[in-house]
Chains A and B, each alone.
Chain A
Amino acid sequence: MDTPQPILEAQDLRKSFGTLEVLQGINFSLLPQEMVFLIGPSGSGKSTLLRCFNRLEEPTGGKIIFDGVDLMSPDVNINTMRQQIGMVFQQFNLYPHLSVTKNITLALRKVSKKDSSEADEIAREMLKRVGLEEKANAHPDELSGGQQQRVAIARAMALEPKVMLFDEPTSALDPELVGSVLQVMQKLRDSGMTMVVVSHEMRFARDAADRVAFMSEGQIVEEGEPGAIFENPQQKRTQDFVSEISR
């Protein structure tokens, strides 16, 4: 049996803001159906790396290969590619002027060119999966933070992406609302979705992740199974970080 091809790959990826080099040559690959956590201290570049994966942040060097396509190539239609890479943000970023359903269907109608009844059907299905069917006609400001984030996940899922990126999805939530979002992510993971997650939810990482990559100062210092990283880190910087967070 062949080793499976990675769905997403970063090769010597670099990103600088002025003179500050935030990503210093990242090599990373993600297999289909894998769930990988990026952890590390703030400012280590993990969010920037995640945002480079769909080019919300323009890398200053290196390559991103998604599903065999070089995303940095000038011939690539990045909007088509982005439909296959879902993203969930720390601040949810729901459109406040649109209803929950319209939030989900906007890209379906305008980019995938689905007609509105079909798009509405997909939205209904997605809302069912995140447990918010009854909120279909609500506006974002009528929802709790946790509900907003679940709608945001539904919005990303609706496009049937091959990979989903989560940028600190629970950091802006009140503690009692975190659980409902993690539950949805767990369900998504069980359904076989490929996911990259930047998060501080270490317990969730330990339970759910296939692999954890520890980043520090713009580099991936160490990666491996969650057990190995959390119980038996090899590198000094990883040890410091793990002992810091488990205190």
Chain B
Amino acid sequence: MEIFLDSFFNFQIMSEASPLLIRGLGTTALLCLVVIPLGLIGGLTVALMALSRSPWLRWGTIALIDFFRAVPPLVLLIFIYSGLPFADIELSPFTAVCVGFFLNNSAYYAEIYRAGIESVGVGQMEAARSTGLKKIQALVYVVLPQATRNVLPDLLSNTIEVVKLTSIASVVALQELLYSADMARSVTYNSSPIVMAAGIYLLILWPVVRMLSNLEHKVGK
């Protein structure tokens, strides 16, 4: 038991590592603030392309979505970070992560938006157009609000996944929360900093996961 506590809940080490972890948390937060809005905007754009009337654009977009859904995000990230420099495209870890996440998240958010928009009947669009709204106005004021509400649980669920996914940025040496914790672990030969990082993720995400669960059950009824 004592060994267990010493290996995983060593408060001495935790408190020593905490400045590092807090700085890491700051980077994680910054990363989220950039990649989540970027993914939402990208996803919406891609969804509208996937619902286009032109079959070329439609199928091209769907192929692109499936392409980025098939590539594991870490593979994409490593390719961007250490593959592209061979083509003289050198990106900082932060930029590389943002580009990788933008490509990956846009595909996932796009699928959700697409389902949402499809769930709103054509009658809504027709009704809005019949009152003289332009297509874009009908979309923004009538269709999208309903679509977003219909897929809110999925949007939230995917956003949780994005926040969790930022941890893979540690692999390309971006000093976010997990990277800082792992650095502290390798210096101290003790896993407590990782437990602490886990605790921080739990603190942030558990309430959101709970909320999502309730939302899903409410929507399900």
- Judged by CB atoms under 8 Å, the answer to whether A and B touch is no
List residues of A whose CB falls within 8 A of some B CB.
none
